Structure 1
Amino acid sequence: MRRPPRPTAVWRPPLDADGLATVLARLQVWQPYDGEALLDDVGDALDDVVPADGAVADIVARLDAHLVQLVDIAVASEAVDKDATVRAQVDNARRLLVEPIPEDRQQAVGHLRRLAWSVHELAEELAALRCLRGTV
């Protein structure tokens, strides 16, 4: 004896065409986390030898990218909501990210080093909370 077919709900895709286009655009610019590159850039910024004039802006741009990625990881993993230290570091990172690079060389190097410390501290905290692997 055969059972009668059971009614099933009609499947509907979770996203419309615009939503899929947004996801595709984000995937195309996504960069995987690279702990080795992060540590190299932090090392370049905090080295005893001050980077050359032309290198400061380049290193700042790379550190900014690392910091944005770390903030995104802190938010996505909910570490920013669960850990006061991470929350404070994310707040500091967000302040640093909106600061322009000072024109004065000495101040620019100071900004570079503050960024590097922020990247290092946030990465270290996220690694301790097991939100990251391959760092520190």
Structure 2
Amino acid sequence: MRGWEPFDADSLLDDVGTALDDVPPAEKYQKQLAERLRGHLMQLVDIAIGGDAHVKDPITYTLIGHARDIHSMGVPGEPQRVVGHLRRMAWTVNELLERLLATRHLTNVNAA
């Protein structure tokens, strides 16, 4: 329980919005954003697995695999590649969140 963080949809949505914005995040903030997105990814994966969403829904299963693949990648060294990596992570976070909401594994989250 020591490393447990409560689910914070507002923070998640802010980070997704920052990464997917037309204006890329400033280079000095990219690594911090990458770490937060990695945390969001794993928290959503844990929620999905804890609720057996990966067993009940093949789309969730696929998204979990994609999330794990992206999570295992290191942050690229080149700034332009970092932006692409951030956007892939943010897209996956968003897709997994939407899927967990659609399958009712997460509720009471305003993901508008």
Amino acid at match of 2:28: G
How many percent identity over aligned positions?
45
Scaled by the length of structure 1, the TM-score of the pair is 0.79
Which has the higher relative contact order, 1 or 2, with Cα contacts under 8 A spaced 6 or more apart? 2
Q: 2-side partners of 1:129 and 1:82: how far apart?
A: 9
Q: 2-side partners of 1:61 and 1:132: how far apart?
A: 23
State the number of aligned residues: 110
Deviating 4+ runs (over 4 angstroms): none
Q: How much does 1:42 deviate?
A: 0.2
Q: How much does 1:29 deviate?
A: 2.2
1:130 aligns with 2:112: no
**Gap runs ≥5 in structure 1:** 1-26
| Match of residue 24 from structure 1 | none
Scaled by the length of structure 2, the TM-score of the pair is 0.95
1:54 aligns with 2:28: yes
Amino acid at match of 1:77: G
1:111 aligns with 2:85: yes
| Match of residue 70 from structure 2 | 96
Deviations 1:2-45 (A, max 9, x none): xxxxxxxxxxxxxxxxxxxxxxxxx2321111111110110010
| Match of residue 70 from structure 1 | 44
